[in-house]
Structure 1
């Protein structure tokens, strides 16, 4: 089946389509992970993006629904050098894409496109499956709005609050696009988890009598999450607050700090971070925005930095019992170097009721 990927800079690339015929537009991003393609495709933080895999083959172990981080695929399209159409386990990625109306393209020189993205930054892009009209794809890419102008969190947050019961401490999660394994990691410590839409007010959250507030990952520009920032600000100094990925950024903004967009982001399961004691840990990451460490108010302490570019990967405010990280300690997919230490630290630092 014909397919073409068009970029806003005027370039287009013809390949072999898989999945359903149709079109998708999104910001072109790449991930360096070698496995865990379903975890990536179902990560709500990829909403609004066309996801390119640098590893040259995906689909080789089929689709394992147990690994989904959300019931839906949130990446707007999949770009790969080669896709396996006949894996040992079924269903195949190609048949899954076709059944669910998703769009993919293979036969693309992903190495070249990755280098291009690293040099020029993320680009608006369009994927057409079922046709190879490159000029049309380019025009579609140029016509899409910038990702910072999109309210992507609204498309991935839960519509109503719900509970994942446990016998331990009560933790309220603001769902900006929470990954399943964040909840799993908290439940592994027997936390009583209440999950709220990202726009929930303090009054609504207080109904569950939370002992801590947790801000999840999510897609797009964190500055658009004004409701979440307001809610987090209302809890400062009242109960412990924790965050992962966008949660790290929301906490910084609530404290009066600033965020900015990276040239091409950190996405993959081999991102090195250096912690406060010095050892380097390998982490899973998926973000295009980071916190400006210099903008954090007095009292905040930088706890982790990215080894590759020295950007901020975590901070804490011990006086207000705030702790957050930019990477994903819960992984899935990827290494779990810091899953135990970080989630244990979070849970143990919550005072008993």
Structure 2
């Protein structure tokens, strides 16, 4: 038995569709993802915390959900919008349907909408606040309040509250969790890294107390300027040990070193984004999920060097510090979902660490 549901945009546009998943009323910024697959990884990516996620690919849910591909323990996506929800899932790894998964986590979904048309609207007018509601009275209430999303606490909501290990036998890496994807830990595990994950609130003293060989700043949701406490920590740590920032970690690295960030018109989400490494002209296709970017004009007066650029809109996709062994990228080298063209950056990070330790050893014996 189908139940009506409405997607309402803050400009007053209303789309009628069919409900699935959770039953809660939901509001958040409406964003779109262009991936053909990877809906489970996207929904469980904490970078989508508080956002209503719309998929442009016309059929979603056809291979179900499994327990292995989650990118976080508890998804915090505000809602899911699809053109057509697959009637049945067909894959040997499937353990439940997408509708069952969203119902379990009380995430509302809506299907039977023209998602391509809505995407064109967002691309034209920019990302906007939206709501998923079930009655015309709820539509009226949302439009009367002109609700805005509150992103101040998104990183705190997404981060772990306590430190925890992901032990191995290799280099000791501290990961600061701003909304960490499990795929980052998987990439470090492949390289035998001995990992400790710390909360987003970790101070420089707390980070350095673990005597890390290197520090990784993770991805996460929302506006990087809502995480000001991280900047002093980064400024201290980057002078002591090699550092690697990913996505939100990249933006925080930029802010900590005097650059600025801005909100993009509709962001980059999906895994077909071509980026160019400036030094080599190497082109990689990358997975991306961000609504903010580093302002190019703000780099000039800093000690940062632009290393990567997005080919389509020329936004900054990578930075390196001119004095310290620290670098960052806006895209996701861990992919999941997406191409693994840029996974070598994890190797570059570890090589940075080994080179730094070698140089320090030489200096200490000179």
| TM-score (normalizing by structure 2) | 0.92
CA distance in 1, matches of 2:302, 2:22: 52
Q: Which runs of 5+ in 1 are unaligned?
A: none
Of residues 49, 66, 70, the one that matches 2:68 is 66
CA distance in 2, matches of 1:219, 1:22: 21
* Aligned residue runs from structure 1 range 58-137, under 5 A: 58-88=60-90, 89-128=94-133, 131-133=134-136, 136-137=138-139
Match of residue 25 from structure 2: 23
CA distance in 2, matches of 1:168, 1:4: 51
Match of residue 320 from structure 2: 316
CA distance in 1, matches of 2:160, 2:335: 21
The 3 A distance-change label for structure 1 pair 337 and 161 is: same
Match of residue 298 from structure 2: 295
CA distance in 1, matches of 2:103, 2:242: 45
Match of residue 216 from structure 1: 218
- TM-superposed deviation, 1:4: 0.5
Q: Could you give the per-residue CA deviations for residues 72-101 of structure 1, whole angstroms, max 9, x where no partner exists?
A: 122110000001131123411112222332
Q: Is the 8 A contact 2:271 2:286 kept in 1?
A: yes
Helix, strand or coil at the partner of 1:136: helix
* Aligned residue runs from structure 1 range 234-253, under 5 A: 234-253=236-255
Match of residue 337 from structure 1: 341
- TM-superposed deviation, 1:230: 2.0
Match of residue 49 from structure 1: 51
CA distance in 2, matches of 1:342, 1:293: 22
- Structure 1 stretches (4+) deviating beyond 4 angstroms? none
CA distance in 2, matches of 1:298, 1:200: 25
Q: Which structure has the greater CA radius of gyration?
A: 2
Of residues 136, 142, 147, the one that matches 1:144 is 147
Q: Could you give the per-residue CA deviations for residues 78-125 of structure 1, whole angstroms, max 9, x where no partner exists?
A: 000001131123411112222332210000110110000000000100
- Equivalenced residue count is 348
Match of residue 231 from structure 1: 233
Match of residue 363 from structure 2: none
- TM-superposed deviation, 1:138: 5.7
Q: Could you give the per-residue CA deviations for residues 263-300 of structure 1, whole angstroms, max 9, x where no partner exists?
A: 00000011110112112211000000001132124432
| TM-score (normalizing by structure 1) | 0.95
Of residues 246, 271, 280, the one that matches 2:283 is 280
Q: Which has the higher contact order (CA 8 A, sep 6+)?
A: 1
Helix, strand or coil at the partner of 2:284: strand
CA distance in 1, matches of 2:193, 2:69: 21
The 3 A distance-change label for structure 1 pair 231 and 61 is: same
Indicate yes or no: 2:42 matched with 1:37: no
- TM-superposed deviation, 1:137: 2.7
CA distance in 2, matches of 1:183, 1:64: 19
CA distance in 2, matches of 1:162, 1:212: 16
Q: Which runs of 5+ in 2 are unaligned?
A: 359-366
Helix, strand or coil at the partner of 1:155: helix
- TM-superposed deviation, 1:145: 2.6
Q: Is the 8 A contact 1:172 1:194 kept in 2?
A: yes
